[in-house]
Amino acid sequence: MTPTLSQPIALIYAGGTFGSYGKPLAPLPAKQFLPILQELLSQNPEHNTATISWLDNPLIKDSSQLDAQDFVHFYQLILTAYASGTKRFVLISGTDTLSYLGAFLAEAFAGSDIKIVVTGSMRPLLDSSNIQSYCVDETSDAWGNLSTALQQASSFDPGVMISFGEETWPAQTVQKIHSHDFMAFTGHFRAAYPANSYVKAIPQARLQHWIEDQQAQLSMIQDRAKDAAIFALYCVPNDPKAMITQLKAISNHPNCAIILLGFGAGNLPFSAELAAALDDAYQQGQLVIAASQCPFGGVSDSYAAGSWQYDHHVMSGGRLTIAAIYARLLWLLLRFDSPARRRQRWQFSVNQKTATHKNR
């Protein structure tokens, strides 16, 4: 069914700077903040074209504290509403893990006709200097970000997006590039899977099958989230023994994947012992993904300093952001039951032009 402007937008408040108030700043509880936000929205005619409903969300915490189980919580919350017929959502979250959460939801809802827009702010919506009444801080970016998110949620195009700085991008292309500036995030529109996997109109039978399949897997996904872990090994000018020590320390984790954050285009210091450690990680069933510390460009096998790792079962992260790599790895750990299937799905979903020759 193609969405129409009469369809409601379900708003989810998950805390973060957006809903903080007072001195010192702290997130307001949902029961206190949502009535204020509802009243402010009702006073602004720019949002009267869409009916806004509210999803009850008990998980209000600083976004830096979110983990895999919390991501699954938001997935389950939205999936339940989607199965009941709601197609459009705006999720307000904190900025620390906003790009990770958005990318995870993009992975989880790929193949559907849902529209989710994730947003937040660098300054609170409410003016803490006014203790007489709750009013919008005119110097904040919060209202502008929310307005953009609501406008995006009203559009006909399905998919998971992130709105920030009054701009919007496919969720898996977004990364945080500034710790406190209003233009804290950036992204692009050259997005492949899962952004191009959403469809505007799904036959009812196909949609019902998609929903039933997701619901059937939900219990397993929730259970696996309890011990799922993505380890990020950041390469600095150390002897390779330092990374070997890190790899060995996590080699026996039962449900994990590893991101190698290499120099430049994914370059790593070579040693025979490090190559052997990567082989061991593969034998343990772990996915090891090559990524770049650089914010743009991704990885390449053009340099011998980086290409050697692909001979030892490391897989290319392509041009994916770190947040998108994390999100895709987490979804693979939760959704697929064997290392072979996870590797197969990674190779299917990531452009392998940067490392096609030795991915086994």
Q: Could you write out the DSSP letters of every residue in 319-344?
A: T--HHHHHHHHHHHHHH-SSHHHHHH
Same domain for 40 and 158? yes
Same domain for 254 and 214? no
Same domain for 304 and 233? yes
Same domain for 174 and 60? yes
Single out the residue in 179, 202, 220 at which a domain terminates. Answer: 220
Q: pLDDT grade, residue 27 (50/70/90)? A: confident
Same domain for 23 and 138? yes
Which pLDDT tens digit goes with each residue over 304-360? 999 999 999 999 999 999 999 999 999 999 999 899 999 999 998 885 443 333 443
Same domain for 69 and 204? yes
In a domain, 1, yes or no: no
CATH of the domain at 273: 3.40.50.40
Share of the chain above pLDDT 70, in %: 94
In a domain, 134, yes or no: yes
Average pLDDT over residues 53-69: 92
Same domain for 238 and 205? no
In a domain, 300, yes or no: yes
Give the domain extent around 120: 9-220
Which pLDDT tens digit goes with each residue over 123-141? 999 999 887 788 899 999 9
Same domain for 341 and 196? no
Closest CA to 332 of 298, 289, 290: 289
Cα–Cα distance between 345 and 343 in angstroms, integer?
5
Please check the confidence at residue 280 and state whether its pLDDT lies above 60: yes
Please check the confidence at residue 60 and state whether its pLDDT lies above 50: yes
Kindly give, in sequence order, each residue whose CB lies less than 8 Å from that of residue 95, ignoring residues fewer than 6 positions away. 16, 17, 63, 120, 121, 122, 164, 176, 184, 185
In a domain, 108, yes or no: yes
Write phi, then psi, for 341 (nearest 5 degrees).
-70, -35
Q: Residue for token digits 């803490």? A: 128
Residue 218 tokens, joined: 């939900």
Q: Per the structure, how many domains does the chain have?
A: 2
